Amino acid sequence: MATPQELSDFLAQVERRAFKQTAYAVRDDHVALDIVQDSMMKLSEKYAHRPVTEYPMLFQRILQNTTKDFWRRQKVRNLWTTLFSSFGSGQDDDETDPLEILGGDPDNDHDQPEAQLQRSQTLAIIEDAIKKLPARQREAFILRYWEDMDVAETAASMGCSQGSVKTHCSRAVHTLASILEKHGFSKPGI
């Protein structure tokens, strides 16, 4: 059984990425936080006896399954929210201020250096693009490149073949790179 310190160190290392990854999938920060919290509790409750080296893969699997559970529960509710959202003010993602996504203070926009602002805008564009990726491509990209898992580990986490992982990753990177290029952010370091 892992020690509390080992579990704490692992969760501290992955919690931010787990939140962002889930937020891309569910497009709601509060829901993403709930899912991440539930996943942490499940890891602690059911898999703490496993070696710490298995935690990255286990936690990713738990995160994905918890996210899928959320979507199952939302399946029926979405029918009604879709109906009512057409009458309400709603939330148009395309008009969202990128600085709000980053948690910045809109009143201080004019004080930010131009490079930092450009980078923030690039981040917002990429995050928006990731949200719009097909779910499997997004999962493959995040696990393979952001969580730094190898192809075999990614395939095990996703429950698919290694060939599928490579295909999903290739398509995801191609899509994201095309979007960056389209917005004029193709130079290195941008």
Partner 1 sequence: MKTEQENAKEIVNLLDEGTSQLDRKVLDRLYAARMKAVGQLAARRQTVAESEADGIGRVLRMSGDYMHQHRAVMPAVMIIGAALMLFVITQQLTNQPAIEQSDAFLLGSELPPEAFVDKGFDAWLARSSQR
Work out whether 132 is an interface residue with partner 1 (CB under 8 A).
no
Work out whether 164 is an interface residue with partner 1 (CB under 8 A).
no
Work out whether 113 is an interface residue with partner 1 (CB under 8 A).
no
90 torsion bin: left (phi>0), alpha (psi -120 to 50), beta (else): left
Residues in the chain: 190
User: How many of the other CB atoms lie within 10 Å of CB of 24?
Assistant: 20
Work out whether 127 is an interface residue with partner 1 (CB under 8 A).
yes
Quote the least distance from Cβ 86 to partner 1, whole Å.
Answer: 30
CA distance 38 to 58: 14
The residue among 21, 33, 29 whose CA lies nearest residue 127 is 21
Work out whether 115 is an interface residue with partner 1 (CB under 8 A).
no
x/- track of binding to partner 1 for residues 3-22 (CB under 8 A): xx--xx--xx--xxx-xx--
Contact by Cβ (8 Å): 52, 37 = no
Q: What is the DSSP string of 16-30?
A: HHHHHHHHHHHS-HH
CA distance 24 to 141: 12
Work out whether 160 is an interface residue with partner 1 (CB under 8 A).
no
Residue from the set 26, 31, 33, 135 that interacts with partner 1 by CB under 8 A: 33
Work out whether 146 is an interface residue with partner 1 (CB under 8 A).
yes
Contact by Cβ (8 Å): 139, 168 = yes
Work out whether 88 is an interface residue with partner 1 (CB under 8 A).
no
| The one segment of 65-73, 81-89, 131-139, 140-148 that binds partner 1 by CB under 8 A | 140-148
Residues engaged in binding partner 1 (CB under 8 A) = 1-4, 7-8, 11-12, 15-17, 19-20, 29, 33, 36-37, 40-41, 43-45, 48, 102-104, 119, 122-123, 126-127, 130, 141, 144-146, 169-170, 173-174, 176-177, 180, 188-190
